Amino acid sequence: MPLQKLLKTEWSGLLLVVILAIMLIGYLKPSFLTPFNIQILLAAISVNMVIALAQMLIVGIGQMNLSVGAIGGLVAISFAGLMDVFQLPIPLAVLVGLLIGLAAGLFNGVIIAFTGISAFIITLASLSVFKGINLGITEAQPFYGVAESVKSFGNSSLLGTLPLLIIPMLVCLVGVWVLLNRMRYGRHLLAVGASPTAASLVGISVRNIVIGTHALSGLLAAVAGMMVVARLQIGQPTIGDDWLILSFAAPVIGGAVLAGGHVNVIGTLLGVTTIAIITQALVLFEIDPFIVQIFLGLLILWAVGINRLRDLRLTLFSKPA
């Protein structure tokens, strides 16, 4: 991509932030760029990116999915529980996990589409339902009997630096990118996000798009849940509890408009990367645990600010003389 074209992309400011952060931290803390640390960083990015994609699609239609973490957590303990209790073969456990995620997403989508009640309210309620099922099944106890090959998948790497978890992430990333940029469904999705009324007037079924997008979101949350099980090697009932802020922060840092109609897959990837680097830097620089949250918030604001600065500069320079 020619440099000028690259600079005009909406995520170029964020890319600059990421590159600068890597260079600066690598200079100050050489251990940051060791193969093992890069592997750790990429594993975190892989899981978090799938979580962010699950929310990004919903943001694309101008809605919110507060139950992303609860769906991921429910799938995680189901996936681990099926292997632990029933010794289900891994492909079958994965399939059931995906179906649970799909069903949970459909549940959200159908209720939102047919009742017209705000997605915020519906997913807030379903969050409670899915988490309640999780606690009912596990009684807050983890499932330990995760298959060895699943554990191995979550903790192995290619060439010492590329975790295998990057594979499902790339599949999801490419799939969502193609959906949004090369398929009619993706254009309809963004049209519904920009203006449901206008979309409806040109013949797009808003109801179908809402249901389908929530189903996809559930599916992606399911993939993320199973990836976390592979990484942690156990089915912890609290998986997913921490996803909500990240799931919104990464797409928004990456340029998504919360009102809907505009999202960016590469921007979201850079948003996830920014948050992962900041999180790791706080550990590397031994920041006092009681003020970590302050630093995290300020650094995210800084990253978003640089991207916004780039937007303003582009707007100024593109004005006719």
Partner 1 sequence: MIQENVFQEFGRKSFQNLKKWMVGAALACLTTTPALASDTRVALVPGGPHPYFAAWEKAGQDAKRDFGLSGADYRVPQKWELSQQNQLLESLLTQGYNGFLIFPGDPVGTNSIASELTAEGTPVIALAGCLKQPTPAVFCLGTDTGNSAYLGTKELIKTLGGKGKIAHFTGFLVDPNTQLRIDAVQKAANETGGAVEVIQVIADIDAPEPAEEKINAFLAAQADKVDGIVTTAWVPAVVAANSLRKIGDKRIKMVGIDHDEVVLKAIKDGYVHGTMLQNPYGQGYIGSFAMDKLRSGCKVNQNAPFKTTALTNQFIDSGTAFVGRDKVDTYIGAMEAVTKDLMASFESTYLVCN
286: left (phi over 0), alpha (psi -120 to 50) or beta: left
Q: Which DSSP helix (H) or strand (E) runs through 279? A: helix 265-284
Q: How far is the CB of 160 from partner 1 (least distance, A)?
A: 12
Is residue 212 a contact residue for partner 1 (CB under 8 A)?
Answer: no
* Binding to partner 1, residues 147-206 (CB under 8 A): 155
237 belongs to the binding site for partner 1 (CB under 8 A): yes
Residues in the chain: 321
Q: Which range in 114-122, 235-243, 249-257, 308-316 contacts partner 1 by CB under 8 A? A: 235-243
SS3 143: strand
3-state helix, strand, coil in the chain (%, to 5): 75, 0, 20
Residue 81 binds partner 1, judged by CB under 8 A: yes
* Cα 246 from Cα 192, distance rounded (Å): 24
Stretch that binds partner 1, among 25-33, 59-67, 117-125, 252-260 (CB under 8 A): 25-33
Q: Which CB atom, from 115 or from 141, has the smaller least distance to partner 1? A: 141
Single residue of 37, 161, 195, 208 touching partner 1 by CB under 8 A: 37
With tokens 């990456």, the residue in question is 254
CB of 81 to partner 1, least distance (A): 5
Out of 19, 27, 28, 86, name the contact with partner 1 by CB under 8 A.
Answer: 86
Candidates 10-18, 60-68, 182-190, 224-232: pick the segment binding partner 1 (CB under 8 A): 224-232
Candidate ranges 16-24, 107-115, 176-184, 237-245; the one touching partner 1 (CB under 8 A): 237-245
Separation CA 88–CA 38 (nearest Å) = 33
Q: Which two tokens stand for residue 70?
A: 């609860």
Helix or strand or coil: residue 207? Answer: helix
DSSP of 299-312: HHHHHHHHHHHHHH
Selected binder of partner 1 within 14, 15, 42, 44 (CB under 8 A): 44
Residue 208 binds partner 1 (CB under 8 A) = no
Query: Which of 135, 131, 86 shows the shortest CA–CA distance to 104?
Result: 131
**In terms of Cα–Cα distance, which of 212, 247, 224 is closest to 79?**
224
> How far is the C-alpha of 99 from the C-alpha of 73, rounded, in Å?
14
| Member of 139, 148, 320, 321 binding partner 1 (CB under 8 A) | 139
- Give the interface with partner 1 as residue ranges (CB under 8 A): 29, 31-32, 34, 36-37, 39-41, 43-44, 47, 81-82, 84-86, 128, 131-133, 135-144, 155, 228, 231-234, 236-239, 241-243, 276, 279-280, 283-284, 286, 289-290, 292-293
